[in-house]
C-alpha cells in the first residue's frame, strides 16, 4: 500500500508540474513571442511615414498638414522639427523639457532620457536636411537601454542544461513532497484497515497536516472498542435472558401439561373440586405465558418505533390513584405502604392511558419485589417552572449497585438484589423507559444513599 501511494503521488506531482510548465510555455509563445510583443516594439514605420506630413510653406516655413496634426493628437504625441544647426523651426505639443536648440550631446541625452520616449528621423526638403523628433506617450512606450557581456549572455542561455536542472529539481521536490504526503496517509489507511478487522489499538500521533484526522481516528478506535465491550456484555445478557425466559416458559408449560394430562385421563376419578383446582392452574399459567408474550411483543414494537400511541387527555393524578388502588387490592400487595402526594387534584396530560398505566404498575411493583416486606413507596406529582410535570417514585429500600443503576433500563437485564426468584420477562423497566421516551418525556434512576431508589419522570404538560 505504501509503495502504491508513493508512486501515485509522485506521478501526479510530476504530471501537474509538467502541465503547468507546458501551459506557461504555450501561453508565452502564443501571446508574446509569436506576436513579437516582447522587447521587439519598433515604431520605425510610424516615424518614417510621418515624413509625408511635413512640408515647406510658400513663405519658406516648415509646417505640418492637418492630417499630421490629427495623427499627433490621436496618439498623444509631440513633435519638434530642427534645421541643420539643430535649431527648432517647428514644434507641436513638445515636452517642456525639450530645448529650442540642441547640441549633439544634448540630443543624445534626450534620446536616452527615461523621462521622455523620443524617436528621430530626417527629411530633405529643397536640398536642406531637417531633423524631426517624435515624442511618444511614455505611459505606453518606454525605452530601456541594456549593456551586457555577450559571452555571459551566451553562457546564461544554455537552455538544455537549464531544462535538465529544472527537471532534476522537479523530481527531487516531487519525491520529497510525496514522502511527506504519503507517510501520514499510509498510517491513516493502515489504521482504518485495522479498525475494519476489529483491532482497536491507538497510534502514537505526530504533528502534521493530518494531525486532527489521526486524533479523530484514535477517538473512533476508543468508541468502537467501548461499543464492542458493551455489545459483548449485551450479548451475554441476552443469552442469559433467553435462557431465563425459556426456563420461565417451560415451568408453567409443565404445570399446564401435567394438569391437562390428569384431566384428560379417564382412569382418574376426579371430583368437581379437584377439577376446578387443575383448571385454575391451567388458566393461571396460561395467563402468565400470555403476559410474557405480550411483554416481548410490546418491547419489540417500542424498540422499532412501530407502536402507534392512542393519546387522549387524562388526569394523571386520577390515573395513578387508580393504579395504586388496583395494586393494593391485589392480595400480594394489600399490606404494602404507599404514600401519594400531589400539588393539584387535576393535572391533565395528553398520553396513551394504557401504556402510562403500565409504566407506573411496573415501577411501583418493582419497588416491592426488590426490597423487604416493610418497604415504603412514596409517589409525588408536581408542576415544574416550565409547566412540565414531574413524577417521582421513591422507595426507602436498600437501593441498587452502580452496575445495576447503569443497566436498569436496558433490555434483558435482571437485577441481583431481588429477594426471591421473580417470574417475568425482565423487560419491565426497559418497557417503562421506552414508553416514556415514546411520549417525548424523560426518565432517570438515582440511587439515594441509605434511602433507596428514586425514579424521576418528566412529562410535557398540555
Share of the chain above pLDDT 70, in %: 84
Q: What is the pLDDT of residue 157?
A: 60
Q: What is the pLDDT of residue 349?
A: 92
- Residues 132/81, Cβ–Cβ less than 8 Å: yes
Strands 389-395, 442-448: parallel, antiparallel or unpaired by DSSP?
A: unpaired
Q: How far is the C-alpha of 18 from the C-alpha of 129, rounded, in Å?
A: 58
Task: Indicate if the pLDDT at residue 85 is higher than 80.
Answer: yes
CA–CA–CA angle 372, 378, 380 (5° rounding): 160
- Residues 287/326, Cβ–Cβ less than 8 Å: no
CA separation, residue 391 to residues 321, 386, 405 (Å): 13, 14, 19
Q: What is the pLDDT of residue 447?
A: 85
More reliable by pLDDT, 71 or 113: 71
Q: Which of 192, 64, 206 is nearest to 123 (CA)?
A: 64
- The three grid cell numbers given for residue 86, joined into one nine-digit string: 539643430
Average pLDDT of the segment spanning 391-419 = 74
Strands 54-56, 62-64: parallel, antiparallel or unpaired by DSSP?
A: antiparallel
Q: Which fold has domain 44-136?
A: Beta-Lactamase (3.30.450)
- Residues 324/340, Cβ–Cβ less than 8 Å: yes
Average pLDDT of the segment spanning 91-115 = 85
Average pLDDT of the segment spanning 169-194 = 76
- Residues 87/106, Cβ–Cβ less than 8 Å: no
Average pLDDT of the segment spanning 343-353 = 91
Q: Which fold has domain 212-302?
A: Helix Hairpins (1.10.287)
Q: Which of 379, 301, 308 is nearest to 340 (CA)?
A: 379
Give residue limits of the domains in the chain. Answer: 2-39+148-185, 44-136, 212-302, 308-459
More reliable by pLDDT, 178 or 6: 178
Using only C-alpha atoms, what is the Rg of the chain? Answer: 51
The chain-wide mean pLDDT, for the chain, equals 80
Q: What is the pLDDT of residue 406?
A: 82
Model pLDDT for residues 54-75, shown as the tens digit of each residue: 888 888 888 999 999 998 888 8
Count the neighbouring beta carbons within 10 Å of the beta carbon of residue 13.
19
- The three grid cell numbers given for residue 313, joined into one nine-digit string: 387527555
Average pLDDT of the segment spanning 312-329 = 92
Q: What is the pLDDT of residue 24?
A: 64
Average pLDDT of the segment spanning 329-356 = 89
Q: Given pLDDT bands bounded at 50, 70 and 90, which one contains residue 195?
A: confident
More reliable by pLDDT, 439 or 152: 439
Q: Given pLDDT bands bounded at 50, 70 and 90, which one contains residue 79?
A: very high
Measured over all CA atoms, what is the biggest interatomic distance in the chain, rounded to whole angstroms? 165
Compute the 3-state secondary structure of the chain and give helix, strand, coil in percent, each to the nearest 5: 50, 20, 30
More reliable by pLDDT, 19 or 384: 384
Q: Given pLDDT bands bounded at 50, 70 and 90, which one contains residue 9?
A: low
Q: What is the pLDDT of residue 411?
A: 66
Q: What is the pLDDT of residue 92?
A: 92
Q: Given pLDDT bands bounded at 50, 70 and 90, which one contains residue 426?
A: low
Model pLDDT for residues 232-285, shown as the tens digit of each residue: 877 776 776 677 667 777 878 888 888 888 888 777 777 888 888 889 888 988
Model pLDDT for residues 383-398, shown as the tens digit of each residue: 888 889 999 999 988 8
Q: How far is the C-alpha of 168 from the C-alpha of 186, rounded, in Å?
A: 26
Domain 308-459 has CATH 3.40.605.10: no
Model pLDDT for residues 206-241, shown as the tens digit of each residue: 666 667 777 888 888 888 888 888 788 777 767 766
Task: Indicate if the pLDDT at residue 5 is higher than 70.
Answer: no
Exposure pattern of 107-133 as b/e (b: 16+ CB <10 Å)?
beebeeeeebbbbebebeeeeeebbbb
Q: How far is the C-alpha of 419 from the C-alpha of 411, rounded, in Å?
A: 21
Q: Given pLDDT bands bounded at 50, 70 and 90, which one contains residue 416?
A: very low
Q: How far is the C-alpha of 185 from the C-alpha of 193, rounded, in Å?
A: 12
Q: What is the pLDDT of residue 374?
A: 87
Q: Which helix (H) or strand (E) holds 448?
A: strand 442-448
- The three grid cell numbers given for residue 297, joined into one nine-digit string: 411483543
Q: What is the pLDDT of residue 317?
A: 93
Q: What is the pLDDT of residue 315?
A: 93
Average pLDDT of the segment spanning 310-332 = 91
Q: What is the pLDDT of residue 8?
A: 64
Average pLDDT of the segment spanning 124-150 = 81
Count the neighbouring beta carbons within 10 Å of the beta carbon of residue 418.
12
Q: How far is the C-alpha of 143 from the C-alpha of 80, rounded, in Å?
A: 19
Amino acid at each position: 500500500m505504501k509503495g502504491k501511494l508513493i508512486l501515485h503521488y509522485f506521478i501526479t506531482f510530476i504530471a501537474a508540474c509538467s502541465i503547468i510548465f507546458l501551459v506557461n510555455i504555450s501561453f508565452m509563445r502564443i501571446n508574446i513571442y509569436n506576436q513579437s510583443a516582447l522587447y521587439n516594439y519598433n515604431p520605425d514605420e510610424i516615424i518614417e511615414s510621418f515624413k509625408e506630413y511635413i512640408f515647406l510653406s510658400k513663405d519658406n516655413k516648415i509646417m505640418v498638414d492637418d492630417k499630421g496634426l490629427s495623427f499627433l493628437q490621436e496618439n498623444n504625441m509631440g513633435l519638434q522639427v530642427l534645421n541643420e544647426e539643430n535649431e527648432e523651426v517647428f514644434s507641436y505639443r513638445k515636452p517642456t523639457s525639450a530645448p529650442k536648440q540642441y547640441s549633439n550631446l544634448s540630443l543624445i541625452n534626450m534620446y536616452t532620457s527615461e523621462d521622455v520616449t523620443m524617436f528621430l528621423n530626417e527629411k530633405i526638403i529643397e536640398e536642406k536636411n531637417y531633423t524631426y523628433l517624435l515624442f511618444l506617450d511614455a505611459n505606453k512606450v518606454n525605452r530601456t537601454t541594456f549593456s551586457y557581456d555577450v559571452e555571459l549572455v551566451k553562457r546564461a542561455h544554455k537552455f538544455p542544461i537549464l531544462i535538465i536542472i529544472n527537471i532534476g529539481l522537479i523530481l527531487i521536490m516531487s519525491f520529497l513532497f510525496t514522502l511527506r504526503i504519503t507517510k501520514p496517509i499510509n498510517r491513516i489507511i493502515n489504521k482504518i484497515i485495522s479498525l475494519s478487522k476489529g483491532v482497536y489499538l491507538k497510534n502514537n500521533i505526530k504533528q502534521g497536516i493530518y494531525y486532527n484526522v489521526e486524533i479523530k481516528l484514535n477517538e473512533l478506535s476508543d468508541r468502537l472498542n467501548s461499543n464492542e465491550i458493551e455489545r459483548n456484555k449485551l450479548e451475554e445478557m441476552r443469552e442469559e435472558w433467553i435462557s431465563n425466559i425459556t426456563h420461565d416458559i417451560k415451568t408453567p408449560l409443565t404445570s399446564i401439561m401435567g394438569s391437562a394430562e390428569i384431566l384428560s385421563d379417564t382412569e382418574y376419578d376426579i371430583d368437581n373440586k379437584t377439577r376446578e383446582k387443575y383448571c385454575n392452574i391451567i388458566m393461571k399459567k396460561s395467563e402468565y405465558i400470555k403476559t410474557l408474550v405480550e411483554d416481548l411483543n410490546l418491547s419489540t414494537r417500542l424498540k422499532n418505533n412501530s407502536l402507534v400511541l392512542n393519546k387522549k387527555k387524562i388526569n394523571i393524578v386520577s390515573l395513578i390513584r387508580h393504579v395504586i388502588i388496583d395494586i393494593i387490592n391485589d392480595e400480594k400487595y394489600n399490606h404494602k405502604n404507599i404514600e401519594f402526594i400531589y400539588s393539584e387534584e387535576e393535572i391533565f396530560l395528553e398520553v396513551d392511558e394504557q401504556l402510562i398505566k403500565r409504566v407506573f404498575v411496573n415501577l411501583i411493583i418493582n419497588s416491592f419485589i426488590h426490597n423487604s416486606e416493610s418497604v415504603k413507596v412514596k409517589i409525588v406529582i408536581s408542576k415544574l417552572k416550565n409547566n412540565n410535570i414531574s413524577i417521582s417514585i421513591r422507595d426507602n429500600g436498600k437501593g441498587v449497585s452502580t452496575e445495576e443503576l447503569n443497566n436498569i433500563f436496558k433490555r434483558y437485564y435482571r437485577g441481583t438484589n431481588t429477594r426471591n426468584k421473580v417470574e417475568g420477562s425482565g423487560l419491565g423497566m426497559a418497557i417503562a423507559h421506552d414508553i416514556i421516551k415514546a411520549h417525548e418525556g424523560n426518565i432517570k434512576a438515582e440511587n439515594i444513599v441509605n434511602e433507596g431508589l428514586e425514579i424521576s419522570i418528566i412529562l410535557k404538560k398540555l
